[in-house]
Chain A
Amino acid sequence: MTDLLVKNAYVIDPLSGIRGEIMDIAIRDGKIVEDTGSGAPVIDAGGCLTFPGGIDSHSHVCGTKVNFGRYMSPEDMRAGRTARKGVMRVTSGYSVPTTFGNSYRYSTMGYTTVLEGAMAPLEARHTHEEFTATPHQDMLANTLFDGNWAIMEAVRDKDVKRAAAIVAWTLDAVKGFAIKLTNPGGTEAWGWGKDVHSVRDEVPYFGVTPAEIIETMIRANELLNLPHSVHIHCNNLGVPGNYQTTLDTIDLAPDLNRNRQSLYLTHVQFHSYGGSTWRDISSKSEDIARAVNSRPQVAIDMGQIMFGRTTTMTADGPMEWKLYMLHHNKWSNHDVELETGSGIIPVYYGRKSLVNCVMWAIGLELALLINDPWQCMLATDNPNGAPFVKYPEIIALLMSSRYRDIERSAIDPRTEHYVPLFAIDRELDWYDIAVMTRAAQAKALGIERIGKGHLAEGAEADIAIYPLKPDELDPAADYQQVMAGFAKTRYTIKRGRVVARNGEVVVEGANSTIWSRADVPPEYDLNRDAEFVKKFEQYYTVRMRNYPVQDIYLPRGYFISTEASL
């Protein structure tokens, strides 16, 4: 039995309805309990801001394309190197840090759970290997189905149940957490160097549309009763005028689940552009926010960009090609047979670029114009919009209109003609930030049921204590302190153990990988489906038997089990 008592904490725990109370938190064996035994070690939080551990619901930190981002970027690696120190190993990288680099930096910011935004099933083993080397966060993997041939055939046959069976088989095989659709249909078209340009465009050969794929997958997801909803990266990312595609996508989402959204739209900043070219690009955040505000069945994350150098990486191969045509810097692409694609290019977001300034404003506008923070999560699509180490700056911008005004004077002066940002005076409060950085994520991912994102009795003892005293601070004025405070916790506690203190990681980590297992009736078990097996062996270059990720890759695997309604 290991006990720990956190005393005198200024707790905000939105899922438990706690909006800022000084209280003690008792921990036993990694869980929150009613009371500890006497003599438990005590941490005096000294009235500091205390949240459940942070959860990133969309980040690219592990797997084939992330590692390729490192592989191709020695210049980024040397930009963020640290030496071995205590238990901390050598790290490299600024926008695409090494796995330990990611893990330490997240941990010192109080993050204890991270969802990898895109895992190609064929290469899942790689993602899981890197999960094991990201030891301070519990990890989950969105699993890509956007160009999955078997899925598109099921969509063509209007067979939702078969689509559900394919999802169930795949998640089990690759130890995935949720359904991810990245530019649905577009990644298959990219196999021929093409793309789809609206939700009604047909995918070459398969003859299905993105809309049909999205609708089928939302229903399949709910048939399987998966914890998370379908997680979508819409078509037309980064294209001026794409907000219409995003609105069309939102319109496709039915309200099927009482506990959470039925569709999660990720990095929506990249999907909220008006205009028709880069010259007249404008913000359509108001239209998008209006749509989100009127539909409780959707939730989004910001996809905020921040100025500076970073690396973009996504399964959306055709989008990266378009970006390459703009930047003419290096370009990598990696199509994955029968499943999906991916691309990587380095970018620089400059304050002197009007387009970049508009993008920067849009992300903030989404967070400020969406009324309910539970529907808009804070993320940068790390590292696409910015490396996650920029989160504290984003928090400060959202909490302080004064800080936004200071930034206004540093960016392209034309920006204000294209964006509504500077007319918005809303300032988020500590509670909103707690929602947008952990509680909303736990709810949206459906992992509050396994004790994530809150501090109620029985929850995982993942806790972040920031050196910020809400009673003594005015975030609107003291935004510099807010930024510094969210960058380095006083304590990060993971499963009841202090893992980081004042910006330093103090123990070797031991994380879990969380995946979803939907039990389907035998007639939906694809291992017994002769047609599925035959096509698999014929068109994949890996034998079906060598495809599933063995249990050994998840040394501390944890699955959320569901019963499919098939």
Chain B
Amino acid sequence: MKRLILVVLFMTVLSLIVPAKTTITLWHAMSGANLTALEAIVKDFNASQSEVEVVPVFTGTYAETLTKAIAAFRNNTHPHIVQVYEVGLQTMLDSGAIVPVFELAEPGFDWGDIVVPILNYYSVDGKLYSMPFNSSTAILYYNKDIFQKAGLDPNKPPTTFDEVFEYGKKIVESKAALGGIAFGWPAWVFEQMHALHAQFYANNENGRKAKASEVYFNKDFGVKVFSEWIRWAQSGVLVYGGREYNANNAFLAGQVAMLIQSTSSVGSIESKASFKVGTTFLPRIPGYPKGNSVIGGATLWVMKGKSKEEYKAVWEFLKFVAKPEVSQKWHKSTGYFPTSNSALKGLLDEGWFSVRPNHLTAFLQILSGINRPESQGVRLGNFVAIRDVVDSAFEKALQYKGPDIEKTAKAILDDAAKQCNQILKDYISLYGK
């Protein structure tokens, strides 16, 4: 008995001397080079202080991470922080399962330093709901060696749809490469095209004024884009490259000369490519008003139901992530945007962009575009399901071999729109307008 008391006493004293660390779990979807970069950030944070220990857990793809977080919330085993991609925005806002970061933040925190398009994307009524972390946008990558082989100027990448088609045909006909161009995340590229040409993707200002109840992508503009893509595919210029990052392999293997992909692939493409990589802005269709490319990637959402002390720890970590030096390091190793203006300035000052100009392309694109409601980013209920429908529509369109291109594009998009409108209707029936 005496000994037991002694042990208990000893433990109590020990716990007083060594302050217990607050453990914060972070669920994320970063794999490959991005995983290493994320773990480095967490390690630096844990080493920088002694009160908080952040534990990162890889939980699969973006869609899987979101699903797991939802399932965990229903069982009350959810993490403190979860990384959710832009597609999950409306779902998270309506979930009743989150603590908005503007409520979490200490008073006087300078939100103004965050890059404007990113801030806009994740804000509701001027208030930021989740912490910007890995933001990106789509750009055009091209293989300079193939351009040269096909007799094209490697320093003059295409800027319009017609040029992409023309160059692509030259590349295919001269056998410089098997295909002209491939896309990563095709449904996202389709959204990008709408934003870039100042076209709404859904009603109620892309679902930002009130919940969207109808998609607009089967209107004239969407049909035009799809028709162009079918035309490209029919002459072998556009090659299908999967729904996420598979197209990168075709590009790296020199099978396609151009690639539309997230800027987050800049790091890995530059390090793996055995050819000169060029990057440029997304191609446009002349005759439409100018908009801007739209933000993709993910942010960090804080989940409900934890103690006050834990939230303090969460905020410490989020503040650390937002630091310019952390943001710069993250950008350098992945290609994601540095999220703050001061981080950007620092990179500029140290000359990073003159050494790695491809890391600048996405930035220039998004800062030179015109920010208007159409290009602020789409917010849809159950967007995950809608992406899926549009991806399928894209795959169906690319298989069409006949001559009625416009009619087929319209029919495929109408069918997809019907499914999406049903999804939106169901969502509104649950959450109201």
Q: Is B truly associated with A?
A: no
The residues of A with any CB-CB pair to B shorter than 8 Å are: none
The residues of B with any CB-CB pair to A shorter than 8 Å are: none
